[in-house]
Each structure stands twice: as structure tokens, then as C-alpha cells.
Structure 1
Amino acid sequence: MITFIPTPIGNPQDITIRAMKLFESATLFLCEDTRQTKRLLRLLEERFDMTYPDAEFYSFNEHNGQERLDEFGETFNDKEVVYVSDAGMPVISDPGQLLVAYAQENDLKYDVLPGASAVTTAYAASGFEEGKFLFYAFLPHKGKERASALAEAMNNGYNTVLYESPHRLEKLLDEVETIDENRELFLAKEISKKYQNYYRGTAKSLNAQLKELTIRGEWV
């Protein structure tokens, strides 16, 4: 059995009781980053009296995912396998898709738990009226690919959700303002964390506002 378990995107209290019970019974963890997962498990053990699992831990990411499947994928039926990303919902902008496909192709039983998601949390907080949106995750970093992807995102006829790193956020706002300075934007900073903040306005006004700030943390 393979279980895909969402983890908190900021506040540890957003973990579910079901997730912690499955963590305790797991025999194999596949993690985007084993160090991050072990830190979370120790924190849960300390704050919520969860028993730290007696399990094996292996990284599973875009660089070694296929190698891991070739190495011990055939043993999954005999183990309680848990897959977690560093934060949030597995498989969403995350290498876990390869594991889902493997389970489907090999008739392995799997489950996906509901839980924390930066995409849906940010969209709910935006207040945008249109219920439909498209999720683009991260844009390409530079060049024609980035320009093309941004143009597509801004002209698809739907609200669009993007992730962006703090050191490229100012560049993104400059690009959006150049294309359409009156485009209505919503920015969510550090969702569920101590310094969470929301910003809504036109591309021009938000760009000016954020140039006065030190841009750190995670943004949607």
C-alpha cells in the first residue's frame, strides 16, 4: 500500500490525525528530502505525542525517482509505504507523479489523503469572483520559454495561479506590469506562517508597494 500524505505548508498544527497515525505505522518513507521529513516527524513527536516511526527513509525526487522504482518498487506490496513532499499536497508541483503512475501501471493499491495546499488556500484568500482557475506552478526561469509561458498564463481567459521564488518575484511583477499594468493581482506570502500576509491590487500598484519591502519567504 502506498499512501500519499500532505504535510503542513507552514503551521505544524495543520497536520491531520489520520496522517500522524499513518506515519506511525509506515515501514518505508519516500521523501522529496529525507532531512526535511525527519525534522517534521520529530516535531510532531514532540508536540503531539506521536511515536516516531521505525521505518526506512529514502529520497524520491526528480533526479532519482526512476532509479528508486527500479531498485525496490517490486517490494511495495509487502510494505506500508508513505510518500511526502517537503510541504503541502504531494504530486502538485512535486515529483510524486512518477510514483502514482507506477502504482497505476502495476496495479498497486494506493491512497491520497486530503490536506494542506498552497494553491487552493491562496485562491480562496484571493476573493476573485471567477471560480475557475489554471495552475502553472513555476514559470521557466528565463528566456523565450519564460516570456511565452507568462504570455499564455495572462491570456488564457482564466484566473491563473503561479508559484515564484522570492528572488524572482520582483522580476515577475515587472514583467506583468509591462504587459498589463492594470491586471488585478493577488499575492499570498508565507501562508499559515508567522509572517503571513496578503496583497491585492493592480500590477502597477503592487509592484510599487513591494519595491518598498524586503522580499523573503514563499509566495503564491
Structure 2
Amino acid sequence: MLYFAPTPIGNLSDVSLHFLDILKECEVLICEDTRVTKKLVLLLKERYNLNLKDILFLSLHSHNEDDFIKNLDIEIFKKTCIYVSDAGMPCISDPGVFLVKFAQRNCIDYEFLSGSNALLLAAAASGLVQKEFTFLGFLPNKGEDRKISIQNAINSPYPVIIYESPKRVLNLVEDISKFDQNRDIFLIKEATKKFETKFFGSVSNVLEILKKSNLSGEWVVVISASKTSGFEKITIDDILNLDLSIKQKSKLIAKITGEKSKNIYKNLLK
């Protein structure tokens, strides 16, 4: 049996009893980083006085998926196996999707445990999400792809949730302010940890506070929904008027028309 288990995102006490019960039966622990997971298992063993079996630790991440499968004996899943990422819920801006698809293709029974997740914590804590929302994970680091992602977030009819690094969080809010300084925004850093900090208000006010704040830590940003836009209002003319390259405009038009971006690109060059 294969279990996918979320791990605490900061506070060790957030581990579930369900996870601890499965961990006591675990024979194979597949993880993003064996060093991180071995440390976590040791901490849990000491805090909760767990009697664990001899666990085989295997590394599976985005850079070794092919080698992992080549060396894998599928019979291993007859044992009690757990997959974890370094922190939080597997597959949510974390590795794990590859293993889910592998299990589906090979009729391997698997189960997801509930638990820590920065996305849902931020959605609930923001006061900006009641039902629908859009999750963008980590945005592209730079260039036009990042610009497009921010524009999409600003124009979304739903609240948008973004993961961001301490190196780019101030730039992100500055970029958002260029579009709408009065939009409500919520940020939380180091969620569930000792120095958890929340920021809420208009983009312009939060930006001034951030400029004077310690930005170290992991961030989640929630942008309130646009009150004026809707997906049905996006037209080809809207895209053509954006400050983007012809290549990027071609890609966007292709998404709403279904035409090939190469053909659109050629037409725009005429």
C-alpha cells in the first residue's frame, strides 16, 4: 500500500495521529530529500516515543524520476510505503504527481492523508476567500512570463493565491501596485512557525510596511478578486493592446481561440 502524507510546514505538533500510526508500520519511505525526511522522522520518533521498523529511505524528486523507475521493483508496493515531500502536502507546488500517475498506470493502491498545507491555511486566514479561488503556486522568476502571470492574477474574478520567496516578495507587491494600489491583499510568512507574521490591507499600505519589515521566511500571498473583470470579457483586442512581445501575444490568443500559436504569430508579423 502506498500512502501520500503531508508533513508539518513549521510546527511539529501539526503532525496527524493518522500519519504517526502509518509511520509506525512504514517499511519504505520515499521522499523528496532523504536528509530532510530522516531528520523529521528522528524528531517525531523522539517526541512521540515511536517504535519504528527498519525503514528503507528512497529519494524521488523532479531530477531523478526516470532513474527511479528503472531501478524500481514494483513488488515494493506490497509493503507499507509512504511518500512525503520536504514540507506540506505532496503534489501542491511540491513533488509527488509523478508517483501518483505511476500508481494509477500500474493499478497500485494509494491513499492521501489530510494535514498541513500552506495554501488552505492562507486562504482561510486571509478573509478574502469564501468559495472559489485560483492557485498559481510559484510564479516565473522573471521576464515576460512573470509579467503575464501577474496580469492574470490582477484580472482574475477570483481571489488568487501565490507562493513567493523572500527574495522576490517585495518586488511582487511592487508589481501588483503598478496595476492597482487599492486592491486588498493578504500576506503570511513563516506560517505555523514561531515568527509567523500576517500583513493585510490595501496594496499601497502593505507595500510601505513590507519595506520596513524583515522579509526572511516562506511567504504566501492572497490577492482579492477583481471587481471589474471576467474571463468572458477578455478579447483578442485586449491581448493585442498588452505591453507584450508578439510571441507572447500569439500564445495568449491561441489559448482563447484554439488556433496554433505559430499561425497567429505569422499573421501578427504581417
Q: TM-score, normalised by structure 2?
A: 0.79
* Aligned residue number for residue 45 of structure 1: 45
Alignment of 1:1-220 (within 5 A): 1-72=1-72, 74-220=74-220
Q: Between Structure 1 and Structure 2, whose CA radius of gyration is higher?
A: 2
Shift of the alpha carbon at 1:73? 5.0
Distance (Å, rounded) in 2 between the aligned partners of 1:73 and 1:213: 50
Shift of the alpha carbon at 1:76? 3.3
Contact 1:2 1:76 in 2 (8 A): no
Q: Would the alpha carbon gap of residues 129 and 77 (structure 1) be closer, same or farther in structure 2, given more than 3 Å must change?
A: closer
Contact 2:123 2:129 in 1 (8 A): no
Distance (Å, rounded) in 1 between the aligned partners of 2:130 and 2:87: 27
* Aligned residue number for residue 254 of structure 2: none
Distance (Å, rounded) in 2 between the aligned partners of 1:67 and 1:136: 29
Aligned to 2:168, what secondary structure does the other structure show?
A: helix
Q: Would the alpha carbon gap of residues 40 and 129 (structure 1) be closer, same or farther in structure 2, given more than 3 Å must change?
A: closer
Deviates most, 52-61 or 204-213? 52-61
Contact 1:6 1:113 in 2 (8 A): yes
Shift of the alpha carbon at 1:135? 0.6
Distance (Å, rounded) in 1 between the aligned partners of 2:170 and 2:56: 41
Gaps of 5+ in 2: 221-270
Distance (Å, rounded) in 1 between the aligned partners of 2:152 and 2:7: 31
Shift of the alpha carbon at 1:78? 2.6
Q: Would the alpha carbon gap of residues 178 and 189 (structure 1) be closer, same or farther in structure 2, given more than 3 Å must change?
A: same
Gaps of 5+ in 1: none
Distance (Å, rounded) in 2 between the aligned partners of 1:76 and 1:150: 44
1:21-66 Cα deviation digits (max 9, x unpaired): 2112111111111111111111111111113441111111111123
1:145-178 Cα deviation digits (max 9, x unpaired): 1111111122121100000000111110111111
Contact 1:130 1:159 in 2 (8 A): no
Distance (Å, rounded) in 1 between the aligned partners of 2:152 and 2:73: 38
Deviates most, 67-76 or 202-211? 67-76
Aligned to 2:71, what secondary structure does the other structure show?
A: helix
| Larger RCO (CA within 8 A; separation ≥ 6) | 1
Shift of the alpha carbon at 1:129? 5.0
Q: TM-score, normalised by structure 1?
A: 0.96
Q: Percent identity?
A: 40
Contact 1:29 1:56 in 2 (8 A): yes
Shift of the alpha carbon at 1:83? 0.2
Deviates most, 76-85 or 182-191? 76-85
Q: Would the alpha carbon gap of residues 30 and 129 (structure 1) be closer, same or farther in structure 2, given more than 3 Å must change?
A: closer
Supply the AA of the counterpart residue of 1:37.
Answer: T
Q: Would the alpha carbon gap of residues 152 and 51 (structure 1) be closer, same or farther in structure 2, given more than 3 Å must change?
A: same
1:91-128 Cα deviation digits (max 9, x unpaired): 11112000000111111000000111100011111111
Distance (Å, rounded) in 2 between the aligned partners of 1:13 and 1:129: 26
Distance (Å, rounded) in 1 between the aligned partners of 2:76 and 2:177: 49
